Amino acid sequence: MSRIEGVLKSLKDQGRKALIPYITAGDPHPDQTVELMHTLVKAGADIIELGVPFSDPMADGPVIQLACERALKHGTSLRQVIGMVREFRKTDSATPVVLMGYLNPMEAMGYEAFADASADAGIDGVLTVDLPPEEADDVAPLFSQRGMDPIFLLAPTTTDSRIKAISEHSSGYVYYVSIKGVTGSATINVEEVAAKVAHIHELTALPVGVGFGIRDAKTAGAIGKVSDGVIVGSVLVDTIARHQSDPGALNKALYDLLYPMREALDSLAP
Amino acid sequence: MSVKLTDDMLKALPDSRGHFGAFGGRFVSETLMDSLMTLEKEYLRLKDDADFQAEFDKDLADYVGRPSPLYFAERLTRETGGAQIWLKREDLNHTGAHKVNNTIGQALLARFLGKKRIIAETGAGQHGVATATVCARLGLECHVFMGSEDVKRQSLNVYRMKLLGATVHAVESGTKTLKDAMNDAMRDWVANVDETFYIIGTVAGPHPYPLLVRDFQSVIGRELRRQSMEKVGKLPDALVACVGGGSNAIGMFYPFLTDESVELYGVEAGGLGIATGQHAAPLCAGRPGVLHGNRTYLMEDENGQIAGTHSVSAGLDYPGVGPEHSWLKDIGRANYVSVTDEEALAGFRTLTQVEGIMPALESAHAVAYALKLAATMDKDKMLVINVSGRGDKDIHTIAQLDGIEI
Ligand SMILES: Cc1ncc(COP(=O)(O)O)c(C=O)c1O
């Protein structure tokens, strides 16, 4: 069982929901990322999605675009991001880490080299925004063979036959993109999401995480109720941007934002 | 390494997943997959639909003014002292460039799909103008995304788009040029996917765009074949076209791919010189990667971040290129070369002064290379330059370089 499967199974057994925060590696500075990851765990993160900065983040709104620009200004490379996870693993061997990014930096590094280095550093899953399963035949098996979970996205526009096919290519969990739009844009419609997630659950046995549009404890709780976990991104990255020049204040602000979401999710447990 | 291409080989490309050999494909976020698959299905149906094709042909004739002339540049030929130089006059099309061939086709598709809201990206503004034009004609809502750098250097076209009723969105992210305009167009598309048709301006993007844009632009090469048989009684020996995303080049080349005697030359933007790194020549100096929905040659750094580009011509200032060109390069069927800003500007002046034809700065790259090439060819050979657009939009840039305020 992968570390991701283990964590999600134990949460499920307790009737609890996963809290999955996203931050962009290297933002506001590469030296701060590992500490921020530990802060996320202290605030209740079950799994961390660590963004790999890319020059052309087509699926992201302005908040994460700017995070990528800040990280790239300091030269944050994919190899460095893998190094950050290796560093994180020195003191945390329990919290799964999923790399989330775009395909080209992985292609430039070489898929074998990337898969080897990632598995060796203790990375647990890879989510590539611009890699649909149709194009993943040469890539996803490299992750699976090394015990890492290939994680794919489902969208409001995904048809039933695709939901099934995509789930068959995925392990760990599937990520349901709750809105039509880029990260950090519209607000989420809880009823629509509830109906869609219930439908996805009929088509796959995999846990379903829901992301895009979760900005506070209230929505986290509402979405947690109807899914297996919530993914929180832009609002955290926005907080990082606002405290970029004050690392001390930044860790506290991030904790203060995330912890109430943990509480909201745990209040759902029996 | 050159492969003899046959009609059967070409018919099999792209394959069902949009691949041209190792290139192309569909690398987009999941939200767009359903739309792209619907578009592919509908296009493959309409491609062979007599009514659709008849309407397309009629619009190209009566609205665009096709066929565009094949013109013998007699004086230029004499002064160059080599092959006979002919010009395929896409600059005479309505709206001033080849771009309109494609926007007519895609707007027809949008109408068949019942989409009322159109988005487009643009670099030089020619594709934006061509899109705004067909939207005005069909009464469609039009949003054009354009890098704020390009908004500055192509202000005339920005105003034309506004006059035509389009909303122009100046894109401030990244390098503020064509690639960033395409990023923002994709972002808009994801958010408004149900009601929106994205008219991509070149043979790049996810499958089926490289296929359908190539098909719509192939009217250039089909006409050229016929005109060349009528006027000269043989096929040309060399074709020369500039390559930004590659749509005017593929449109010219495609109907000649199986004619081995016809040499193909795609001219990329060499900017300040390939050695300086300040250029936009991915086929000459890049390597394969994935951007904007397809695998193709790209300009990138060693970490896979997309590199900034430079060209005096906004329409060529793009770090990628259509996947079919990447394939043609790798199988050795087409030659990809580059000329610098300076050479292109000289090409602009030569064609203007010797033939009274002012080419777009994009097309001036093809002119500049063709003049060098023609000089090395025998006098009985025939070379055709694709004059992809006219230079009116670039007068400000040229005047500025001359230190003149207009
Ligand atoms: C006149 C003209 N030629 C060429 C291009 C480059 O595009 P493509 O390579 O797709 O023909 C442009 C793009 O704006 C253009 O306006």
Last residue of one domain, picked from the residues B183, B213, B243: B213
Number of structural domains, chain B?
Answer: 2
Q: Considering only CA atoms, which residue is closest to atom 15 of ligand 1?
A: B315
Closest CA to B127 of B88, B166, B98: B98
Residue-level pLDDT at A142: 98
Question: Which string of DSSP letters, residue by residue, matches A39-58?
Answer: HHHHTT-SSEEEEPP-S--T
Residue with tokens 């460039």: B97
One domain, residues B137 and B32: yes
Residue B372 lies in a domain: yes
Closest CA to B344 of B292, B397, B308, B302: B397
One domain, residues B31 and B110: yes
Residue-level pLDDT at A130: 98
pLDDT at residue A132 tops 90: yes
Write the pLDDT tens digit of every residue in A87-108: 999 999 999 999 999 999 999 9
DSSP structural state of residue A147: T
Find the mean pLDDT for residues A112-131.
98
Are B33 and A130 inside 8 Å of each other by CB?
no
Which residue range is the domain that position B355 belongs to?
A: 65-97+218-401
Residues having CB closer than 6 A to ligand 1 are: B 97, 99, 123-124, 126-127, 202, 242-249, 315-316, 360, 362-363, 388-389
* Stretch (H or E) spanning A209: strand A208-211
Are A158 and B180 inside 8 Å of each other by CB?
no
The length of chain B is 406
* Stretch (H or E) spanning B243: none
DSSP structural state of residue B91: G
One domain, residues B38 and B69: no
Are A155 and B26 inside 8 Å of each other by CB?
no
Q: What is the ipTM of this complex?
A: 0.96
**Cβ(A119)–Cβ(A148) under 8 Å?**
yes
Alpha helices in B114-177 (DSSP H): 126-138, 148-153, 155-163
Are A185 and B191 inside 8 Å of each other by CB?
yes
Find the mean pLDDT for residues A8-32.
98
Residue B8 lies in a domain: no
One domain, residues B237 and B88: yes
Q: How far is B275 from chain A (nearest CA, A)?
A: 21
Are A58 and B173 inside 8 Å of each other by CB?
no
Are B304 and A107 inside 8 Å of each other by CB?
yes
Residue B186 lies in a domain: yes
Residue B175 lies in a domain: yes
Q: Does A132 touch chain B (CB under 8 A)?
A: yes
**Cβ(B125)–Cβ(B146) under 8 Å?**
yes
Question: Which string of DSSP letters, residue by residue, matches B357-405?
Answer: --B-HHHHHHHHHHHHHHHTS-TT-EEEEEE-BBGGGGHHHHHHHTT--
Task: Give pLDDT tens digits along chain B (406 positions).
Answer: 467 899 999 999 999 999 999 999 999 999 999 999 999 999 999 999 999 999 999 999 999 999 999 999 999 999 999 999 999 999 999 999 999 999 999 999 999 999 999 999 999 899 999 999 999 999 999 999 999 999 988 889 999 999 999 999 999 999 999 999 999 999 999 999 999 999 999 999 999 999 999 999 999 999 999 999 999 999 999 999 999 999 999 999 999 999 999 999 999 999 999 999 999 999 999 999 999 999 999 999 999 999 999 999 999 999 999 999 999 999 999 999 999 999 999 999 999 999 999 999 999 999 999 999 999 999 999 999 999 999 999 998 999 999 998 8
Residue-level pLDDT at B404: 93
Residue-level pLDDT at A270: 84
Ligand 1 centroid – CA B313 distance (Å): 9
Q: Does A157 touch chain B (CB under 8 A)?
A: yes
Q: Does A177 touch chain B (CB under 8 A)?
A: yes
Alpha helices in A129-268 (DSSP H): 140-145, 160-169, 190-203, 217-226, 234-242, 247-266
Residues of A in contact with B298 (CB under 8 A): 104
Whole-angstrom distance, CA of residue B250 vs CA of residue B323: 11
Q: How far is A142 from chain B (nearest CA, A)?
A: 18
Residue B51 lies in a domain: yes
One domain, residues B250 and B182: no
Whole-angstrom distance, CA of residue B161 vs CA of residue B126: 9
Q: Does A165 touch chain B (CB under 8 A)?
A: no
- The tokens describing B356, both together, are 């009274």
Q: pTM for the complete prediction? A: 0.97
Q: How far is A177 from chain B (nearest CA, A)?
A: 8
Closest CA to B314 of B186, B87, B146: B146
The residues that bridge with B198 in the sheet, in sequence order, are B119
- The tokens describing B252, both together, are 């010219």
Closest CA to B249 of B286, B232, B224: B224
One domain, residues B356 and B207: no
One domain, residues B326 and B183: no
Write the pLDDT tens digit of every residue in B315-341: 999 999 999 999 999 999 999 999 999
One domain, residues B111 and B137: yes
Q: Does A104 touch chain B (CB under 8 A)?
A: yes
Residues of A in contact with B31 (CB under 8 A): 155-157, 177, 180
Residue B11 lies in a domain: no
- Alpha-carbon separation of residue B278 from A156, B180, B269 (angstroms): 42, 18, 10
Ligand 1 centroid – CA B188 distance (Å): 23
Residue A188 — very low, low, confident or very high, per pLDDT cuts 50/70/90?
A: confident
Which amino acid is present at A90?
Answer: K
Whole-angstrom distance, CA of residue A79 vs CA of residue A114: 8
Catalytic residues of B: 99, 121, 388
What's the CA dihedral at A65, A67, A73, A79 to 10 degrees? -100
In a mutational test of the B interface, the residue from A24, A52, A56, A99 whose CB has the highest number of chain B CBs within 10 Å is A56
Residue A247 — very low, low, confident or very high, per pLDDT cuts 50/70/90?
A: very high
One domain, residues B247 and B349: yes
Q: How far is A93 from chain B (nearest CA, A)?
A: 28
One domain, residues B385 and B303: yes
Residue-level pLDDT at B2: 63
- Alpha-carbon separation of residue B24 from A191, B50, B362 (angstroms): 38, 28, 24
Whole-angstrom distance, CA of residue B218 vs CA of residue B214: 6
* Stretch (H or E) spanning B296: strand B293-298
Residues of B in contact with A153 (CB under 8 A): 29-30
Residues of B in contact with A152 (CB under 8 A): 30
List, in order of start, the domains of chain A with CATH numbers: 3-266 (3.20.20.70)
In a mutational test of the A interface, the residue from B31, B40, B189, B196 whose CB has the highest number of chain A CBs within 10 Å is B31
- Alpha-carbon separation of residue A92 from A34, A88, A117, A231, B35 (angstroms): 11, 6, 18, 20, 42
Residue B14 lies in a domain: no
Residue B4 lies in a domain: no
Q: With the C-alpha atoms ordered B15, B21, B24, B25, is the resulting torsion angle positive or negative?
A: positive
* Stretch (H or E) spanning B293: strand B293-298
**Cβ(B242)–Cβ(B363) under 8 Å?**
yes
One domain, residues B316 and B351: yes
Q: Which residue of A has its CA nearest to B293?
A: A130
One domain, residues B205 and B231: no
Q: Which residue of A has its CA nearest to B180?
A: A56
**Cβ(B293)–Cβ(B31) under 8 Å?**
no
Ligand 1 centroid – CA B303 distance (Å): 29
CATH code of the domain in which B209 resides: 3.40.50.1100
Residues of A in contact with B33 (CB under 8 A): 132, 155, 157-158, 162
Residues of B in contact with A111 (CB under 8 A): none
**Cβ(B164)–Cβ(B133) under 8 Å?**
yes
